[in-house]
Structure 1
Amino acid sequence: MTLLQTHPRSTGTKPVHRTVADAMDAAGPQVWDDMTVEVALSVMAAARTGHLVVCDEDGQYTALVTRARLAAVRNGSAYTDRVRLRDIAGGDGSFASPTTPVAEAEQAMRDRQLGALPVVDEHGNALGVLARSFFSARSR
């Protein structure tokens, strides 16, 4: 057992409110929305990630797709090898600003049952991803 020493906090000290920018992971692979599902699955496998940030032709964030979503589309009866990410990446449009408090983002992820939440700046650029695993690791 490890003994932890604690120090009393001064009454004049304000609590630190962490923002999403403090907790997010790098955005990881960002792909264009004209990429096919098959290529996206290959990129995901090569990057060893469970999600991809999807951007439009201007490099602006449009969606976050997961391996599970891509696999479901590929296994669907309407699937062809010409299906593009823009055709399936509707999603719920959820994202967080880098200044969003972590607690607020965590609640939104729970409410919407999201495994990851993109972090997008005021110009529409994907800055990173807040993963549900962050909250799991923090509670240990």
Structure 2
Amino acid sequence: MTPIHSQAAAEPHVWADMTVEVALAVMSGARTGHLVIRDGDGRRTGLVTRDQLAGFRASAAYTDRVRLSELCPAGAAPRA
């Protein structure tokens, strides 16, 4: 029997240890404005939008090594 995949499982996602740059590239490739963030166990831990990542990339706290796990929850200022 083939398992049934839900729409949620098919959502484009990235792992929390990926960099902002990689997430933006995945977003571009998937032609979407948001990505689900998953932890090392595959559990959904958040959601990130193109606007959030672009805003962070324009901030003084940005480097190309910042990982999604280092960003604050949605609506909060990024850590410096």
Pairwise same-fold verdict (TM > 0.5): yes
How many residues were matched structurally?
A: 69
* Mapping 1:94-105, distance limit 5 Å: none
Larger radius of gyration: 1
Q: Which runs of 5+ in 2 are unaligned?
A: 1-6, 76-80
The reply to whether residue 32 of structure 1 matches residue 42 of structure 2 is no
Paired with 1:56 and 1:25, the residues of 2 have a C-alpha distance of: 16
Amino acid at match of 1:64: L
Unaligned 5+ residue runs, structure 1? 1-23, 93-140
Q: CA deviation at 1:27?
A: 4.5
In 1: Cα distance, 2:65 partner to 2:73 partner = 17
Alpha carbons 1:64, 1:89 under 8 Å: kept: no
After TM superposition, where is structure 1 displaced by more than 4 Å over at least 4 residues in a row? 24-27
Q: CA deviation at 1:91?
A: 2.3
Residues 54 and 25 (structure 1), Cα distance of their counterparts in 2 relative to 1, 3 Å cut: closer
RMSD of aligned Cα (Å)? 1.8
Q: Percent identity?
A: 59
2:73 equivalent to 1:90? yes
**2:51 paired residue number:** 68
* Alignment match of 1:49 (pick from 15, 26, 32): 32
| TM-score, with length taken from structure 2 | 0.78
- Alpha-carbon deviation of 1:30? 1.4
User: Aligned equivalents of 2:11 and 2:72: distance in 1?
Assistant: 17
Equivalent of 2:64 in 78, 81, 87: 81
